[in-house]
């Protein structure tokens, strides 16, 4: 297929792009390369994709309506929409960035799909839509009307907007609620990455609620496989719309994550314990039975194995960065 991939320079975007290219798809990648975190990491991810002749990059912000309309004139059979303003705590400081990227940008993507008659849309939602729900595991039919961050609210809005376009215009759309994704080429603002960096540099790490908060850590290769499996299974029916959880279905305390990093690095962490901010939820836990029934796939990479691979990448990548200085 010819696939439009938004957020191609992002963490998940790079891995999904690589997976599509390996199987023979043509991928047109889009990203605005903003400075939410080091743009050089984004450029280095793109360099990995650019090694493949079937990858083509367009520097573009999907919140730019005119530019996005022009982009869709190229014609695409499918769209994987991963472009977004990420981060939960950052939404406390720059809320407008979330409305512009996650709501206005998604609106432009939906309109592009509608008018260009794109055959299928897969887009990123988030486990954050479950808010502070104490019912575990989280299932797709649970109530998600009480988000605890603006980021979560925009992801819930995306699901509602996609359902509307599936209902009104027959656009086949599938949302994926990602659960705490980690792995090589990860985002520096995420816990596992920031813990690894701090431990490697001998700085203390910050842990909330005594390190007992539970997260359903999901390895990025499993996420990429899930995205592609869903892309290949088009929803049908009167309203061709689906939403799935994609997580490892094994919530672990943050302290176990720290222990896995310590083992991989061969260094002990210095710990600083803090109360959790209001944007943080106590636990996440994905029920992936619907994803497994739909695609025959469920994530299965263990935390210890995934952390080992991440730390190996981290060491290699930053040693190369130091060598170039």
Active site residues: 151
Per DSSP, the three-state class of 213 is: coil
Beta carbons within 8 Å of 267's beta carbon, 6+ residues apart: 199, 200, 202
φ/ψ (deg, to 5) at 12: -70, -40
φ/ψ (deg, to 5) at 290: -70, -40
Beta carbons within 8 Å of 93's beta carbon, 6+ residues apart: none
Burial of 35 (C-beta count, 10 Å sphere; 0-12/13-18/19+)? exposed
Least Cα distance to 61 among 83, 80, 40 occurs for 83
CB 196 within 8 A of CB 270: no
Strand 252-253 to 214-215 pairing: antiparallel
CB 254 within 8 A of CB 46: no
């Amino acid at each position: 297929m010819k696939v439009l991939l938004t957020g191609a320079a992002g963490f998940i975007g790079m891995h999904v792009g690589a997976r599509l290219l390996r199987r023979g798809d043509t991928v047109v990648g889009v990203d605005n390369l903003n400075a939410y975190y080091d743009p050089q990491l984004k450029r280095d991810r793109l360099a990995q994709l650019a090694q493949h002749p079937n990858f083509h990059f367009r520097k573009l912000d999907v919140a730019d309506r005119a530019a996005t309309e022009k982009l869709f004139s190229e014609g695409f059979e499918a769209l994987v929409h991963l472009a977004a303003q990420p981060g939960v705590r950052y939404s406390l400081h720059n809320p407008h960035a979330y409305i512009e990227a996650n709501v206005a940008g998604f609106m432009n993507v939906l309109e592009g799909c509608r008018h260009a008659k794109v055959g299928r849309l897969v887009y990123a939602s988030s486990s954050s839509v479950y808010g502070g729900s104490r019912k575990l595991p989280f299932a797709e039919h649970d109530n998600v009307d009480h988000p605890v961050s603006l980021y979560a609210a925009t992801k819930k809005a995306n699901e509602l907007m996609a359902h509307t376009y599936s209902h009104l215009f027959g656009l086949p759309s599938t949302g994926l609620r990602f659960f705490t994704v980690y792995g090589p080429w990860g985002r520096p603002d995420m816990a596992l990455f920031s813990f690894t960096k701090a431990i490697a540099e001998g700085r203390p790490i910050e842990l909330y609620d005594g390190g007992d908060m539970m997260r359903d850590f999901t390895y990025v290769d499993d996420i990429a496989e899930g995205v592609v499996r869903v892309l290949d299974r088009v929803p049908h029916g009167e309203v061709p719309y689906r939403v799935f959880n994609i997580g490892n279905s094994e919530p672990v305390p943050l302290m176990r994550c720290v222990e896995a990093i310590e083992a991989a690095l061969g260094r002990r962490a210095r710990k600083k314990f803090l109360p959790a901010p209001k944007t943080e939820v106590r636990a996440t836990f994905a029920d992936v039975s619907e994803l497994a029934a739909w695609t025959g796939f469920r994530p299965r990479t263990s935390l210890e194995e995934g952390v080992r691979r991440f730390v190996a990448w981290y060491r290699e990548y930053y040693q190369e960065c130091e060598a170039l200085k």
